[in-house]
Chain A
Amino acid sequence: MLKIAKNRLNELFAAIAEKQTLYIPVDREDGAAEYRKWENGCEMSGALNTVRSAKDFFFPQTENLVDFKMEGKNIEVIDIRKESEDFVIFGVKACDARSFTILDKVFLVDPVDSYYKTRRDHGTVVTMACTRPSETCFCGVFGIDATAPEGDAACFSDGENIFFKANTEKGQAFIDSISSMLEEGDTAKLDEVQAKTKSILEKLPLANLSTDSFGGARLKEHFNSDKWGELSEACLGCGTCTFVCPTCQCYDIKDFNTGHGIKRFRCWDSCMYSDFTKMAHGNPRLTQLERFRQRFMHKLVYFPANNEGEFGCVGCGRCLSKCPISMNIVKVMKALEVK
């Protein structure tokens, strides 16, 4: 396998950044990690994951769609899209990588969301295999192998070297573009690291979580469950879980009056918010219970029902650590589990 010594990563980043914009996870002052545009001096974070997921690159929190200009009483419509530039996201973990597959099922099916598609087309996802999963990780539950991430190209670390493997043509092209810096390397140590990681993955406290009770067939049963009241009781109705989630894809479209025109933009919405899917007639989900139920039913029942059994969760564990009142999909799954 092609590899580069870990201490030469910065050289590699510099080479990539010369051609395309490069994003890598970096540590913030407060100890959390976030993706930032690579600049000289940026160190790749060793953290398990970023607070915000990598979905931001393809589906940003706010995105301008179209501009209107009013000239007297006439309205001019302006398409503000410019040719997107190519970019590389480096260091995406297996869970986030899978989230793109899920988002693709929403945005790339007919009608194709051209804003999303443009970004997908221009972005190259380079993943990084996990070596230190956390107690909150449960990607394995959704069939994700944290040691063998998807993405255009995958990287693996044995502690001293980073190994590269292409998963797609785009990934191969990426590796080709940096091949001058890579060399063939021995994977013996890597195999050892991988095996160790796998054994940890098996021991994870949430490893035995089961999806058997969920899927499209269970709609009525779960919808009418009497557990929702208790589960949603403490929910604050904030959007933390939604906004850190790599697979949540709901958005709202709004107009903003700049004073010299209108900007139509979309921004993430959260099913936890009281005005979620509010329509002219009012709101279909009037209580927090209904909104709370919506979020988990969507991930565990509706989404698989419409997508060949694929669940709308990748087990990244972000909602587990970020929910202000520690209510999360794992607790919901356990409560609703059909014994």
Chain B
Amino acid sequence: MDKNLKEQILRASGVNVLKCMRCGKCSGTCPSYDEMEYHPHQFVYMVEKGDIEKLMNSASLYKCLTCFACVERCPRNVEPAKVVEAVRLAAIRQQGNNHLTPAMIPDMIDEDIPQQALVTAFRKYTK
């Protein structure tokens, strides 16, 4: 278990995973549940255990819509989406390459996409 990585995730997310009472409401509420290998409650639990490598290598990371339903519904205010986000950022940073390059942007532009979404995506998916 990578203690530093866990520390980093906890710090980046600002989440106290120990507050989780394992009710599963996050997963009960998650719209992407079926797409995911690891579900929101598992993210929280696995980060607590320090089992982060698995999460980083899982496609589940990118299935989270960051809709924050789990954050909204969690009775204990654990904020699982923030954990997912933190793991996602860790993964991106570790991979050392950009998931998005400027060259890819023009293809993505269409009438409906808000400017801000692109900027955000660019900020999120690049080093």
On whether A and B touch (CB less than 8 Å), the answer reads no
A-side residues, CB < 8 A to B, are none
B-side residues, CB < 8 A to A, are none
